Structure 1
Amino acid sequence: MPQAISLSGARPNIADLMAPQPPVRVPPNTSLTDSPFANCDPSYKCSTLNAIPATEQLLKKSRLPFALVLAPYRTVGEGENPVPVVSDSVIARCRRCRTYINPYITFVEGGQRWKCNMCFLLNDVPAAFDYDAVNQQPVDRWKRAELNYGCVEFVAPTEYMVRPPQAPSYVFVIDVSHSAIQSGMLATAARTILDSLDRIPNKENRTRVAIVTVDSSLHFYNLTTSTGEAEMLVVADIDDVFIPHPGTLLANLTENMDTIRSLLERLPDMFKETVNVSNALGSALQAAYKLVCNQGGKIICLQSTLPNSGVGALKLREDVKLLGTPKESTLLNAASPFYKSFAVDCSRSQVACDMLIFGGQYSDVATLSCLPHYTGGQTYYYPGFNAARTEDAFKFAHEFSELLAEEIGLEAVIRIRASRGLRMNAFHGNFFIRSTDLLALPNVPRNQSYCVEVAIEDDLKTPTVCFQTALLHTTCHGERRIRVVTLCVPVTTSISEIYANANQKAIADYFANKGVERALSSKLDDARDAIVNKTIDIFGVYKSHVLGSGPGSTPQLTGPSNLNLLPLLALCLIKHDGLRQSSQIPTDLRANAMNLLRTMPLQLLLPYLYPNLYALHTMPPEAGEISENGVVFPPVLNLTVENLEPHGCYLLENGQNIYLWVGRGVVPQLCVDLFDVKSYDGLRGGKITMPVLDTPINKKVNLLIGKIREMRRGNYYPTLYLIKEDGDPYLRLWFLSHLVEDRTDNIMSYQQFLQHIKDRVSFFGTYLDKSN
């Protein structure tokens, strides 16, 4: 059991953020084999509770959230175990509940039948289960991957296909209006696609590509001409979109590579003189949909101008008078029903949409991100994009190239099954719910996260329960597969055990999803209040029902050691750009932050909520060097201004941006060695690219920055900012807003927040007695 610890008065022990999640302790001999991999790795699926209450009443009494956090299609990094593949087409499933055979079933009747661990039905073991048809010899069933691993992938036979596996199809919808040319977006996009053509998944040489450019008209390109030069076809009627030359616009990438390369090289020059400020995105999307709706595919939309013509036209609706008021939520919801209804049509036809939005001014991220939200896609936002700034061009080119190279899953569905008595109750993430519990994803991006709330319908009478996620998808290489992720968790009747096994990281993910949901359906105030109240509830129940303290004031706020950072993570959420009280956060930035909060896997979410802060001027000798365990980072510091020395230089990173803070008392030699300028006065704030110098500290800092940019899953490439202590006030405040342990504007410091929770918890017992 974890010890009860006092949280008041001390800085949070932030090293625990890097610690592994609490282990799931299932009783001995629960799994068929003694494989250490019988339960799935928590990075694929974890629960907010690693001991499940036996009754709904006990769950309610605990006030803890019960949810699963999933990232079933995450990438596998260097040194990690790949997902085992079962390729013999023997897929054993329960006849009644359709659960896939897994390490937690039991064999009966001499191994002739197996008992489902979800519904307990007896099923016949397939005859081919113990026989290798390829080599014509018996096999040892105890070595089969599906009985040893909580995460496996089956190669699906034909009965799992409605049609032959689809070939990857990419339709690029590219804005060519005036702002796209002026910002350099078009030139950078064309160059990145050109450089990435060999990275687009195309193992079978079946991948197809189409390009549609859009301003006040639609421009299609016949890529299959005999001359080797693409032929432009202009459609000016944006109200009644038709496809000229339907059979030639979606072209085989391998066969037409030279024509596609030639077009991408010419594209920026074709529109360089444009003065057209119109954009008919809705019509272009309809055209792109018509190109791929019969076979499914992916629309990648690069948007620089607010769509202002034809169907789906949007208005400039940013109203600074509403920011920070209860009416701000109206700006964060979609302005036009077109984008959701179009996305639902796409989902039905296995078409996914990715949005890359370039904001020179208001872009309505809230509306445009509906497309990825309902089609399983991704949204990327580049505020104030200007390709003349190397940092902007490089960030976009890197992320776009990684997006194109991503080995996505196609025409996918996810279903989550659970032991008898449990039901999936609510779903959060980028997908469309096709029936009560079937999540439709035309496209499964790598490293996207989903959160699913679980309800207890009947008392749980077994010592353990299981959750099984099945992701049926087509790989980029044309193979139909089922990824099956199984998690087994013990059941308990003890509220102390439930608290001892609560997972604060997964709870923070649940809070983030529920906070965004509440902010959009109600008000931002309500979202923040709900997170704070839930935190108070949790610590109130711990005090009254676990520690057995009566109502009334106590000198300290006490919690279990496994929830020691939950108040900190709750405070981080209510101070985050996605949810915090402020009239200074533009709607696009807030909408983008909300999108990130609800799609990031835990590995990315935690630093996004509580960034890492390092002192560079006092690094230990081994920091910034490569050891046998990889790059060594300096000690991580608590996020408070008390840790900023006037002569210091600090690096702060949250996975989206990296900030170098330089105190005005910094010694000139550090400026020379790190930045190649003579003194603090010579430093220029804002986006920077680090110089490469032959000095120890410069080499170390460049190595740290490089590692930060590549050490996490996902396509994000953090931009580097230099911030001078007495420099640009906006940049300075932006940096300081990340120091979440301090009081900022009207939001409490960490210690004030703990005191607020303690004060409310003191009266919690009385309130609890009345409410029960």
Structure 2
Amino acid sequence: MATPAQQLPQGWEAEWDANNQRYLFIETATGRTQWEPPVDQGIQPQYSENAPGAAEQPVHHGKRRQYAAGQTQAYYGGGESSLDPGYLAGTAAQPGGAQLFTPGLVGENQFASQQTQAAPAPGQAPQYYAPTEPEYINAPGFQQQPAYGQPVDNLANQFGQMGLAGQKQFQLYTTNLLTSPPDPRDLHIPPPEIRLPPNASVSPSPTANADPSYQRSTLNAIPTTSSLLGKAKIPLALILTPYRSLKEGDEPVPVITDTVIARCRRCRTYINPYVQFIDGGNRWRCCMCNMTNEVPQLFDWDQVRNQPGDRWARAELNHSVVEFVAPTEYMVRPPQPAVYIFLIDVSNAAVSTGMVATATRTIKENLDRIPDEDGRTKVAIICFDVSLYFFSLPQGTTEPTMLVVSDIDDVFLPKPNDLLVNLAESRESVENLLDKIGNMFQDNHIIGSALGPALQAGFKLMSPIGGKIMVLSSSLPSAGAGALKNREDPKILGTSKESGLLQAAVPFYKTFAIECSRAQVSVDMFLFSASYQDVATLACLPHYTSGQTYYYPAFNAVRSEDAIKFAHEFGEVLAMPIMLEAVMRVRASRGLRMSSFHGNFFVRSTDLLAMPAVPQDQSYAIEIQIEETISTPFVVFQTAVLHTTCYGERRIRVVTQALPTTSSLSEVFASADQVAIATFFANKAVERSLTHKLEDSRDFIHKTLIDILIAYKTSMTSGGAGASGQLAISDNMKMLPVLVLGLLKNVGIRQSTQIPPDLRAYAQALLTSMPSQLLIPYLYPTFYALHNMPPEAGTIGEHGVVLPPPLPLTSERLERHGLYLIEDGQTMFLWVGRDAVEALVRDVFDLPGYETLRGGKTTLRVLDNPFSERINAIIQKIREMRRGPYYPHLYIVKEDGEPPLRLWALSALIQDRADVLPSYQQFLSTLREKVNGAGGGGY
């Protein structure tokens, strides 16, 4: 074929681009590139006979920016030489005691097995710091310059040839569970490294892939076929916490203010670090569907400085989590203000326990913390017993007027205005009202609750705008719509009928919740009853409106611990910035489909989740199906949440995660994230307990774990299908069995005849809404020995207060003279051995000896001695270190104290046998029998 080089004017040269099957014309003086020859010279482009699509080539105007040849070299000239030579070269050190299994040559996306922290030398106590969430760095292949990446098909071809170039063998570590007791430190090891192909990302930024605290997958290598996934038996799911709170030192989410948002024309994916730039940087190819799209002109313009900008510094190409300020086309209406309506139960039960006084005082003390930067936030207060009490707060006066509506069968608003007021403008009136509510109802002897009508009233007041209803209720709803009956029956606890108590008793609350969702109204429930309150039914409201349930059984403000816990949590919820009128959608590369959704939201269409108000740190789980064979070297998941900030700005939060694909079963096992799998199991267990029975829920989780173990034994060990004396699993999943045991022993699904349905329903609400950082200690509590902790424990270290080394959850570690702390994020137990020496009791409790110590809920005073200060620092650190508003109670538990309290504390030691529930060793023995028994079966 003739080349056009001879026909080009001086200063130009042509280069054949094999990838795109056409010539690239380069101006040698400037390095400027373009597809057309210089038309002013009358040169016509020439294509070879095998260069298809000649007529389809886009015409680029001279004004469009073009990139120098050097900048496009990584894309246009990228052969195997552009691959990172260090890729595939790293191998993991073999953990102590792990057996090395080395299959033959496998796929190219290699994974190093998780590293196990080396055990300290005898007599040497290592330092342990609070297991706060680390910012894991999942860096894609680093490059010397910003590279456009490679076409997907070209990359696939290169990867297909790499096996011939002497690639390293993949090493998978196998652990025998029977001889490897659980080490609590392993739960804080980062998930298996995400090993993306070189140049998968256009940015070398370490933040180009999603941090696990925002989004994590149960597998960090995606099987290329559904049959391969089926062989591994590991569920494929995403765990999302898109609106994660920021701790001190966390990087804020970058905000992009461009008026044009770059999105794929076909699949609507937002531009991200995993797209490819083509045509000299004028167009980009979508990483989901391969559609080519125009790069907006403003993409290379700095609007703040009004000058050309550096594309490679743009946040959406360097960060996996970004927020776009949404232009008007993303708005059905102008951004709504934040609206809070407080529904306060003022019946005799609520007043006599001090709930009303504590709630009103907490609201008043936190008015400055309620998000109101733009001065538009609105508030209203409605009280209720068997009647409704509205409060008119007209502008210009600070005296509230109470309006009573006793007709609860046909709820109406007694006054169209002045019930919902601007917080900034009516601040004095609101404070005055909060001061008076306690006195207004202090002699209220009415027993009963018209919660349903109160909700209807709040909805009528709020529905034109949307916002958050905060319900504070102290008794079972008994009057009007949504009235409930006490269905607690001790005889059916522990039977197949028990799951009925965990389902909604009446349809009112679910139906009402769906109405709320349509009107962008979210509901939070704060429940306080000392008797049955039907948490299972009332929790429907937060569940379908993306709210949260908080439960304070037998609340009494006379106990300062109760008042402090509620005031702290309620205050944190009030101060929490929230996403309003939000919708969430998760997109994935071709061949992957979101199949089912778990969490607090309403599924508006097949894959659109409606969330009227998204609280911080709420978690969601999404199951994924592989629908067709995946041929690309990596896939991308992108979560987009369109929302209004509580400061009145419409935004889109986008979380992007890229994961490599694999056709190797060993890589699938090596990439499993045990924390994500356990989080998914918790959601799945609760779902099955409601759709089937509690027993079915436990059986499902147990069987899924057995299936994983059978698959691993059959495919990855030399024993294969025969009986084996060991119980093998990959090193990175060795804590999964104990996490499953913790789930099976959790109050939410545990086999028992003693768990009140309200406690079980609340535990299930926690299991399906808490992020992994809170959920894992809830399943596998943390256990510390305080009497012999290292000298640095309880003091300030490099990462804050140093925590003692965690112990395995077994009473074998309890010594009669010891002092121990057991905590699960919701409750803390301070266990005191019966032979505790007088000096210890005096230093910690300021008492003369063990006999004078009383067990129960307590506040530990800081005494004037180093040991007391260290223990209080540890307790304070535990209360602060995790995300979420929870403030765990502290209970003193004497070894020979009250049996119920002792049994409750000991139930947290999940590796012990308890009642009908097996010990960890018994659990493993059962698993081994099942795995060996089924080895020759049809698995």
TM over 0.5: yes
1:65 is matched with 235
Alignment of structure 1 residues 272-287 onto 2, 5 Å = 272-287=442-457
1:707 is matched with 877
Tell me how far apart the structure 2 counterparts of residues 236 and 292 of structure 1 sit (CA, whole Å). 20
Kindly provide the CA deviation profile for residues 488-529 of structure 1, in whole angstroms up to 9, marking residues without a partner as x. 000011101100101110000111011001111111111111
| Equivalent residue for 2:786, pick from 592, 616, 639 | 616
Question: Which residue type is aligned with residue 861 of structure 2?
Answer: P
State the secondary structure of the residue aligned to 2:181.
coil
> How far does residue 692 in structure 1 lie from its aligned partner after superposition?
1.8
RCO higher in 1 or 2 (8 Å CA, sep ≥ 6)?
Answer: 1
Structure 2: gaps spanning 5 or more residues: 1-170
* Alignment partner of 1:553 is 2:723: yes
Question: Which residue type is aligned with residue 212 of structure 1?
Answer: I
Question: Which residue type is aligned with residue 598 of structure 1?
Answer: T
Deviates more, 1:758-767 or 1:534-543: 758-767
Do 1:9 and 1:751's aligned partners in 2 also have CA atoms closer than 8 Å? no
Tell me how far apart the structure 2 counterparts of residues 606 and 136 of structure 1 sit (CA, whole Å). 48
1:85 is matched with 255
Deviates more, 1:541-550 or 1:232-241: 541-550
* Alignment partner of 1:175 is 2:310: no
State the secondary structure of the residue aligned to 1:37.
coil
| Equivalent residue for 1:455, pick from 612, 617, 625 | 625
* Alignment partner of 1:362 is 2:500: no
For these two proteins, the number of residue pairs brought into alignment is 769
2:483 is matched with 313
Tell me how far apart the structure 1 counterparts of residues 487 and 720 of structure 2 sit (CA, whole Å). 52
Tell me how far apart the structure 1 counterparts of residues 762 and 301 of structure 2 sit (CA, whole Å). 52
Do 1:225 and 1:231's aligned partners in 2 also have CA atoms closer than 8 Å? no
2:589 is matched with 419
Deviates more, 1:216-225 or 1:408-417: 216-225
Question: Which residue type is aligned with residue 412 of structure 2?
Answer: F
User: TM-score under structure 1 normalisation?
Assistant: 0.99
* Alignment partner of 1:102 is 2:275: no
Tell me how far apart the structure 2 counterparts of residues 19 and 202 of structure 1 sit (CA, whole Å). 39
> How far does residue 330 in structure 1 lie from its aligned partner after superposition?
0.4
1:750 is matched with 920
State the secondary structure of the residue aligned to 2:815.
coil
Do 2:344 and 2:383's aligned partners in 1 also have CA atoms closer than 8 Å? yes
Tell me how far apart the structure 2 counterparts of residues 709 and 312 of structure 1 sit (CA, whole Å). 36
Question: Which residue type is aligned with residue 125 of structure 1?
Answer: V
State the secondary structure of the residue aligned to 1:31.
coil
Tell me how far apart the structure 1 counterparts of residues 573 and 184 of structure 2 sit (CA, whole Å). 32
> How far does residue 40 in structure 1 lie from its aligned partner after superposition?
1.0
1:523 is matched with 693
1:210 is matched with 380
| Equivalent residue for 1:140, pick from 299, 305, 310 | 310
| Equivalent residue for 1:122, pick from 269, 292, 296 | 292
Do 1:230 and 1:259's aligned partners in 2 also have CA atoms closer than 8 Å? yes
1:373 is matched with 543
Kindly provide the CA deviation profile for residues 199-235 of structure 1, in whole angstroms up to 9, marking residues without a partner as x. 1101011000000000110000001254311100000
State the secondary structure of the residue aligned to 1:3.
strand
Do 1:312 and 1:338's aligned partners in 2 also have CA atoms closer than 8 Å? yes
Structure 1: gaps spanning 5 or more residues: none
Tell me how far apart the structure 2 counterparts of residues 701 and 20 of structure 1 sit (CA, whole Å). 28
Tell me how far apart the structure 1 counterparts of residues 310 and 396 of structure 2 sit (CA, whole Å). 57
Kindly provide the CA deviation profile for residues 19-49 of structure 1, in whole angstroms up to 9, marking residues without a partner as x. 1222211111110111111101111000000
* Alignment partner of 1:433 is 2:603: yes
Tell me how far apart the structure 2 counterparts of residues 230 and 588 of structure 1 sit (CA, whole Å). 37
* Alignment partner of 1:601 is 2:771: yes
Tell me how far apart the structure 1 counterparts of residues 179 and 286 of structure 2 sit (CA, whole Å). 51
Q: Tell me: CA distance 1:10–1:500, structure 2 relative to 1, closer, same or farther (3 Å).
A: closer
Alignment of structure 1 residues 326-405 onto 2, 5 Å = 326-405=496-575
> How far does residue 548 in structure 1 lie from its aligned partner after superposition?
4.7
> How far does residue 18 in structure 1 lie from its aligned partner after superposition?
1.6
Tell me how far apart the structure 2 counterparts of residues 623 and 11 of structure 1 sit (CA, whole Å). 24
1:231 is matched with 401
Tell me how far apart the structure 1 counterparts of residues 367 and 718 of structure 2 sit (CA, whole Å). 64
Kindly provide the CA deviation profile for residues 525-564 of structure 1, in whole angstroms up to 9, marking residues without a partner as x. 1111111111110011001012253323211111110010
1:573 is matched with 743
1:258 is matched with 428
Kindly provide the CA deviation profile for residues 232-257 of structure 1, in whole angstroms up to 9, marking residues without a partner as x. 00001000001011121000001111
1:192 is matched with 362
Tell me how far apart the structure 1 counterparts of residues 787 and 731 of structure 2 sit (CA, whole Å). 33
| Equivalent residue for 2:412, pick from 242, 247, 252 | 242
Kindly provide the CA deviation profile for residues 431-474 of structure 1, in whole angstroms up to 9, marking residues without a partner as x. 00000000000001000000000001111000000000001111
| Equivalent residue for 1:269, pick from 417, 439, 450 | 439
Do 2:172 and 2:666's aligned partners in 1 also have CA atoms closer than 8 Å? no
Do 1:89 and 1:154's aligned partners in 2 also have CA atoms closer than 8 Å? no
Question: Which residue type is aligned with residue 334 of structure 2?
Answer: P
> How far does residue 10 in structure 1 lie from its aligned partner after superposition?
3.6
> How far does residue 133 in structure 1 lie from its aligned partner after superposition?
3.0
* Alignment partner of 1:55 is 2:220: no
Tell me how far apart the structure 1 counterparts of residues 336 and 371 of structure 2 sit (CA, whole Å). 13
2:31 is matched with none
Tell me how far apart the structure 2 counterparts of residues 357 and 620 of structure 1 sit (CA, whole Å). 41
State the secondary structure of the residue aligned to 1:744.
coil
Do 2:723 and 2:935's aligned partners in 1 also have CA atoms closer than 8 Å? no
Kindly provide the CA deviation profile for residues 299-320 of structure 1, in whole angstroms up to 9, marking residues without a partner as x. 0000001110000000011111
* Alignment partner of 1:766 is 2:766: no
State the secondary structure of the residue aligned to 2:701.
helix
* Alignment partner of 1:156 is 2:326: yes
2:834 is matched with 664
* Alignment partner of 1:290 is 2:433: no
2:13 is matched with none
Give the superposed CA RMSD. 0.9
Tell me how far apart the structure 2 counterparts of residues 136 and 149 of structure 1 sit (CA, whole Å). 23
State the secondary structure of the residue aligned to 1:68.
strand
1:17 is matched with 187
Tell me how far apart the structure 1 counterparts of residues 397 and 921 of structure 2 sit (CA, whole Å). 71
State the secondary structure of the residue aligned to 1:441.
strand
Tell me how far apart the structure 2 counterparts of residues 133 and 543 of structure 1 sit (CA, whole Å). 58
